[in-house]
Amino acid sequence: MGPRGPAGPRRCALCAMLGALLCGLRLAAAMAASDERRSASPVAVTPCWQVEDFVVAQECARCSSFEAKTVAECSPTGFIEKINCASSQKNEYKSCRSAVMEAHVFWRFVGTMMCVAAVFAVLVVCRQRVLDRKALEKVRKQIESI
Protein backbone atom coordinates (compact mmCIF):
# COMPACT_ATOMS: atom_id res chain seq x y z
CA MET A 1 0.00 0.00 0.00
CA GLY A 2 0.99 3.60 -0.44
CA PRO A 3 1.96 6.10 2.23
CA ARG A 4 -1.71 6.68 3.05
CA GLY A 5 -2.64 3.00 3.40
CA PRO A 6 -3.42 1.05 6.59
CA ALA A 7 -0.16 2.24 8.15
CA GLY A 8 -1.84 5.62 8.74
CA PRO A 9 -3.72 4.69 11.96
CA ARG A 10 -0.74 2.73 13.23
CA ARG A 11 1.54 5.66 12.51
CA CYS A 12 -0.87 8.01 14.30
CA ALA A 13 -1.08 5.70 17.34
CA LEU A 14 2.70 5.34 17.38
CA CYS A 15 3.15 9.12 17.27
CA ALA A 16 0.64 9.53 20.10
CA MET A 17 2.41 6.93 22.25
CA LEU A 18 5.80 8.51 21.58
CA GLY A 19 4.39 11.94 22.46
CA ALA A 20 2.98 10.62 25.74
CA LEU A 21 6.29 8.94 26.52
CA LEU A 22 8.23 12.13 25.83
CA CYS A 23 5.86 14.14 28.05
CA GLY A 24 6.35 11.61 30.84
CA LEU A 25 10.13 11.73 30.44
CA ARG A 26 10.06 15.52 30.45
CA LEU A 27 8.00 15.52 33.66
CA ALA A 28 10.36 13.03 35.32
CA ALA A 29 13.39 15.10 34.30
CA ALA A 30 11.79 18.27 35.67
CA MET A 31 11.01 16.54 38.98
CA ALA A 32 14.58 15.21 39.21
CA ALA A 33 15.96 18.66 38.47
CA SER A 34 13.82 20.27 41.18
CA ASP A 35 14.93 17.59 43.68
CA GLU A 36 18.53 18.23 42.66
CA ARG A 37 18.11 21.99 43.14
CA ARG A 38 16.64 21.42 46.59
CA SER A 39 19.46 19.09 47.64
CA ALA A 40 22.16 21.28 46.04
CA SER A 41 21.12 24.38 47.97
CA PRO A 42 23.60 25.24 50.71
CA VAL A 43 22.32 23.89 54.02
CA ALA A 44 24.16 24.92 57.15
CA VAL A 45 22.83 22.15 59.41
CA THR A 46 21.79 18.61 58.52
CA PRO A 47 18.35 17.84 59.95
CA CYS A 48 18.53 15.52 62.96
CA TRP A 49 16.18 12.97 61.38
CA GLN A 50 18.77 12.29 58.67
CA VAL A 51 21.58 11.38 61.07
CA GLU A 52 19.89 9.87 64.13
CA ASP A 53 16.87 7.87 65.23
CA PHE A 54 13.56 9.69 65.47
CA VAL A 55 9.94 9.26 66.45
CA VAL A 56 7.04 10.73 64.49
CA ALA A 57 5.25 13.03 66.95
CA GLN A 58 2.55 14.17 64.51
CA GLU A 59 1.49 12.22 61.44
CA CYS A 60 1.68 13.64 57.93
CA ALA A 61 -0.83 16.50 57.61
CA ARG A 62 -1.56 19.33 55.18
CA CYS A 63 0.26 22.58 55.97
CA SER A 64 -1.87 25.48 57.14
CA SER A 65 -1.60 28.75 55.23
CA PHE A 66 0.61 30.13 58.00
CA GLU A 67 2.88 27.07 58.00
CA ALA A 68 3.13 27.19 54.22
CA LYS A 69 4.63 30.68 54.50
CA THR A 70 6.86 30.08 57.53
CA VAL A 71 8.00 26.45 57.43
CA ALA A 72 10.37 25.68 54.55
CA GLU A 73 9.53 21.96 54.61
CA CYS A 74 5.97 22.71 53.46
CA SER A 75 7.01 23.92 50.01
CA PRO A 76 7.97 20.59 48.32
CA THR A 77 4.70 18.70 48.93
CA GLY A 78 2.39 20.91 51.00
CA PHE A 79 2.44 18.29 53.79
CA ILE A 80 4.63 18.02 56.91
CA GLU A 81 5.09 15.74 59.88
CA LYS A 82 6.56 16.65 63.26
CA ILE A 83 9.65 14.63 64.22
CA ASN A 84 11.21 14.12 67.67
CA CYS A 85 14.87 13.16 67.41
CA ALA A 86 15.95 10.58 69.99
CA SER A 87 19.42 11.62 71.13
CA SER A 88 19.30 15.41 70.66
CA GLN A 89 15.66 15.80 71.85
CA LYS A 90 15.02 18.24 68.99
CA ASN A 91 11.59 18.79 67.47
CA GLU A 92 11.78 19.35 63.73
CA TYR A 93 9.47 19.25 60.74
CA LYS A 94 9.91 16.94 57.79
CA SER A 95 8.23 17.16 54.40
CA CYS A 96 6.11 14.10 53.64
CA ARG A 97 3.80 12.68 51.00
CA SER A 98 0.20 12.16 52.01
CA ALA A 99 -1.54 8.91 51.05
CA VAL A 100 -4.66 10.92 50.24
CA MET A 101 -2.68 13.19 47.93
CA GLU A 102 -1.02 10.20 46.25
CA ALA A 103 -4.41 8.53 45.72
CA HIS A 104 -5.81 11.74 44.24
CA VAL A 105 -2.89 12.07 41.83
CA PHE A 106 -3.20 8.37 40.88
CA TRP A 107 -6.92 8.59 40.10
CA ARG A 108 -6.42 11.80 38.15
CA PHE A 109 -3.82 9.97 36.04
CA VAL A 110 -6.14 6.98 35.55
CA GLY A 111 -8.99 9.29 34.51
CA THR A 112 -6.77 11.13 32.06
CA MET A 113 -5.56 7.87 30.51
CA MET A 114 -9.17 6.61 30.20
CA CYS A 115 -10.12 9.82 28.38
CA VAL A 116 -7.14 9.53 26.05
CA ALA A 117 -8.03 5.87 25.37
CA ALA A 118 -11.63 6.83 24.58
CA VAL A 119 -10.50 9.57 22.18
CA PHE A 120 -8.20 7.18 20.32
CA ALA A 121 -10.90 4.49 20.22
CA VAL A 122 -13.21 7.00 18.52
CA LEU A 123 -10.43 7.95 16.09
CA VAL A 124 -9.83 4.28 15.22
CA VAL A 125 -13.54 3.70 14.57
CA CYS A 126 -13.77 6.82 12.38
CA ARG A 127 -10.67 5.86 10.43
CA GLN A 128 -11.96 2.32 9.93
CA ARG A 129 -15.23 3.70 8.56
CA VAL A 130 -13.34 5.92 6.12
CA LEU A 131 -11.24 2.99 4.94
CA ASP A 132 -14.33 0.76 4.58
CA ARG A 133 -16.06 3.46 2.55
CA LYS A 134 -13.02 3.78 0.26
CA ALA A 135 -12.83 0.00 -0.22
CA LEU A 136 -16.56 -0.16 -0.98
CA GLU A 137 -16.23 2.66 -3.51
CA LYS A 138 -13.30 0.88 -5.18
CA VAL A 139 -15.29 -2.36 -5.45
CA ARG A 140 -18.30 -0.45 -6.82
CA LYS A 141 -16.13 1.17 -9.52
CA GLN A 142 -14.63 -2.21 -10.47
CA ILE A 143 -18.12 -3.73 -10.79
CA GLU A 144 -19.32 -0.78 -12.88
CA SER A 145 -16.36 -1.15 -15.26
CA ILE A 146 -17.32 -4.77 -16.07
Residue 97 region, left (φ>0) first, then alpha (ψ -120 to 50), else beta? beta
- 43-54 pLDDT, tens digit per residue, is 457 777 777 788
The domain ranges of the chain are 48-97
pLDDT tens column, 85-113: 877 777 888 888 888 888 988 999 999 99
Euclidean distance between CA atoms 114 and 125, whole angstroms = 16
pLDDT, mean over the chain: 79
Whether residue 24 is predicted with pLDDT greater than 70 in this model: the reply is no
More confident residue, 68 or 7: 68
* Higher pLDDT, residue 11 or 118: 118
* Domain 48-97: which CATH number of 3.40.309.10, 3.40.50.300, 3.50.50.60, 3.30.720.220: 3.30.720.220
* pTM listed for this prediction: 0.47
Q: What would the pLDDT profile of 58-80 be if each residue is shown by its tens digit?
A: 888 888 888 888 888 888 888 88
Cα–Cα distance measured from residue 76 to residue 34, given in angstroms and rounded to the nearest whole number: 9
Residue pair 48/85 in contact (Cβ under 8 Å)? The answer is: yes
